Structure 1
Amino acid sequence: MIGGLNVILDNLDYLLWGRLAAGEPGGVLLTLLMTLGAALLALPGGIALAGLAWRYPGLVRKALFVWAELIRGIPLIFVIFWMWYLLPLITGGDLPGAMTVTLALAWFTSASVMHSVIAGLNALPAGQVEAAQAQGFSTQQTLWRIMLPQALRNILPSLVGIFISLLKDTSLAFIVNVPELTTVAGQVNNRVQIYPAAIFIFTGVVYYLLCCALEQFAKRWRVTRPAL
């Protein structure tokens, strides 16, 4: 037990932020950076797609739902592989591994955000749209000024769940050797070749604490926000 703790302490810097001094962030730091980057892309992207689906209920909505169901029906690991091999062909050059995985996570997560937001919009009373239009609001103004603020507040628990899953999904970056927390934990285990249980228990505890911190932040943020 003491030996396992010593292994973790001896490699703690590497587990927390990788080779940051050499300009190569890793470990917990890279996990958080990829989570934040993917969230910043997926949240507005998913909201925009939900807005389009709400605004245009015909062919556009059907096409968006088909796209979302297709993405959500494919294992994320395949999306990462596709991005890993297809993006260099599209861009004509290699992208950093962390950026490629972040884009894959954002693309995958935006489909879930879209479904959650459109569900929140559909749950609001239809009379609000009629009342807003009677007051002279356009459809776009009704969506962005009246409907979305209410829907986003109502679906906050769902969004928190999506982003907690996003944080945990960053662990799949190990398949393309991006040095996030799971990858560096495996590297440490392969290097020392002792106490694997201690190393991966530590890794699991870190993921648990990060997810709990995200949940607590969301709860505090919701409490401090004024009611709509």
Structure 2
Amino acid sequence: MESGLCFAFLVVRAYRRVHVLQGIERQRVACTRETSVRMASIEFASQGEIAPLPSAISVIPVKAVVWRDVLYLSLFFLLLWILPFIALLVVAGFFVSLIITLILVAFFSFLFPYAALSFLKTEVTVEARERGLHVEKRERRVLKEQIVWDEAHLFACYTLPNLLPWEKTQYYELSSSTHVVTWISVPDKRSPFTMWKPVLSAQEYHRQMQALCDVITAKTGLALCDLT
């Protein structure tokens, strides 16, 4: 019973995320078309009118939230294993079932903490530079992405549900005809379930984020579109 409920939960969460992504894509197409029509009438700000470029903005995972999610996922998979364990107990007997269970417990006891420790090393940094927007994602390796100001055709934000139902993450994106860069935004009021926190103080972070949005609009002529 518990295994069936857990599987149904995974299916519902996956369906929910796909449904949200489909809606975002429809909004993205509509905003891109609207922007293309409007771009011809936009007067770009001169360099003297553009505010100074804001500092680089970085966010990192919240340790307590990550380890709490590891605990929740561990309990979730434990419930998911109950029904297969009973079936295996009937077919193979107690000893074999116990050995397989211990192997799985050892595997996930390594996998989940390893994934959590790797994730905790993540740092996402966004920086407005003279030529374009630069996003750097540090995980086990460093991934660098950039959009040149003149090539940008959509500036947008959207919110996606995470695996756990009470968690959501807000994203910003700047895209050209061939490339998209995204970065994470931390809400004004962080809940106990917010996965990310800024490296800067909350007040300075939101001031820099607003300055970043202003610079992107000034450099590209693109208004921010909310895709959700």
TM-score, normalised with respect to structure 2: 0.29
Larger radius of gyration: 2
